[in-house]
Structure 1
Amino acid sequence: MNRNKNAEPTIHDIARELEISASTVSRALNDNPRISLKTKEKIKAVADKLGYRPNTLASNLRNKKSNTIGIVVPLINRHFFSSVISGVEDVAFKAGFNVVISQSNDLAAKEISIVQSMFSNRVDGLIISIAMQTDTFDHLKLFSKKHIPLVFFDRAVPEIETDKIVVDDFAGAYRVTQHLIDQGYQRIGHLAGPQNLTTYLDRKNGYIDALRKNRIAFDESLIIVNTLTSEEGVLAVQQLMSLPEPPDAIFCGNDTTALSVMIYLRNKGIRIPEDIGIVGFSNEPFSKVVSPSISTIAQPGFEMGQKAAELIIRKIENKERTYQTITLPTELIIRESSSRK
């Protein structure tokens, strides 16, 4: 019987071509030691000629393992998140795992849809940094309920007991604020991210603690909470500079807002760092090439990704039920935007 040319070739087609059993073909393609090397080579040659593709979906369903790790980031175009992805892939590829990458665009609804899709497609584990909007977690609790490994990085959910890889945001923010004080700045504003995320709450608290330890009065009007986009950076600096006593320095929750703040101030004829100091967070590549270059906090994104992958693969393979939180240090990078002395 002639095979339909449009149909996917099967092990039965290979078996007919070589006049052997389908079970022998199956064993050979799965590298069974009972099959001789010569026979394996013949079978592989015919499989390649026919364009045979293994049915990995069916195999995964049988083995209850897809050898796939899902990773969800808020924004792929941010250097920090792309560095984490590179770290995950570096470890996962060497361990024989594929990585499926998606971005939530910091939208809760999109994150929920992505995570549910990854669950339905039977990823072996999920690595995620939650969206700024996310404030309900049933879509993530589903993984822990089904004992599917889940690792949070950067933005974690305290309510879910699982592995977490974070940086010391509190210490990083404290170091930024102390640096600005050491440069002679006294009225320091802060552009903070959403306070439902511990990442940004810790940064705000580190800033406040540094002020307190230096006996500088805390002024609530100097803190503006938003989603740290370029547009909101401009709105925030306009609000700060309209205060009866405007700030002489601004600690921005990321480099994106730091850049938009600097552009706005420069267009108003305000000198940086002479009139006002600026520090960002995340060490985006543009921060060292703009003028003035932006002081910032560097996060070990690649290392975070590596550790997240190592943790999740260990969970997948060993079915461990103990969890840990790994906190990595940050580095203050002092550049022109805050170097007044």
Structure 2
Amino acid sequence: MANDQDAASSYRPATVAVTVGRPPSTPDAPMNVPVTFASTYVAGGDVEYGRFGNPTWAAFEEALGALEGGRCLSFASGLAAVATVLDLVGTDQVVVAARHSYNGTIMQLADLESRGRLKARLVDLTNLDEVIAACEGAALVWLESPTNPALEVADIPAIREAAHAAGAYLVVDNTFATPVLQRPLELDVDIVVHSATKYIAGHSDVLMGAVLTRDEELYRVLKGRRDLIGAVPGPMEAWLALRGLRTLHLRVERAQANAQELVRRLSAHPAISEVRYPGFGGIISIVVAEGALAADLLTHKTSLWINATSLGGVESTFERRRRWKSEPATIPEGLVRMSVGIEDVEDLWDDLERCLDDLH
């Protein structure tokens, strides 16, 4: 590729997102890496077989790795990435995780615990003493910051100190913040995880995950697990994710600006009893004062906001999270998670206000 991480180290994130992972800049060279559809390679090189590597993945991994400041491995989905990291934990070892982590992560932990693979300790991320105490004897500590959908923010340095003192790996799911707003590897976190389906790809058309680390031995172990299990992305998905990554900084900036204005207005509306927002990013959680039925009505009455379970796309989506039976009971029945897109904020507010006024 034309730019490696050393060359990109002098660039700011917006420039890295645009420039890294492109072909060499030579006359008549394409500006973009082509999609390489290949399951088999001529023997004698570093790849050999389609489960071990692909030039299109490599370009995506180079670009996201440069943004996060580590080495990147791409996966077939965010949950494939989660599963591979949890596979680092030995039988009967302890995993500490925020109780309001992504539902798929919590379900994986519950499944592994039910089969005797590991022991899960779910903690209240807002209680730092509880989190630090739970790190004792743990093999891995799993954080989201902000959490999904409660939007709690972790004290990463303090938890890192406790996790490392216990000899545990510290993992941060950085899907919500993205490397535009937060770079956990710079805080001496061991592993960063992304659902690249969300903000990284950014257009609601890709399923992909990613894992990043600065530890070369961890990288080799994780790559070995990916190669063996085969949880690899398709080349077309990797190409789409890389194309989406090129505008990550612009999309995050616009979504964040929209979210901050909506938070100001939502906080003053009588139909809303609580607004949860960590101060950055494009995700807001609101609690509708009249409870679950009113929250469901809100998500079905809008014309611009889309009732959908995913997030991080250019379009604004929202959903009542407790409609999922597996969502923790500590999430309010009337909580609606809102993924703010890049539309005009006045149109987003007009659509919300009309429906909220009907509820009040």
Q: TM-score, normalised by structure 2?
A: 0.33
Choose between structure 1 and 2 for higher RCO, CA contacts under 8 A separated by at least 6 residues: 1
Q: TM-score, normalised by structure 1?
A: 0.35
Higher alpha-carbon Rg = 1
The structure in which a higher percent of residues are helix is: 1
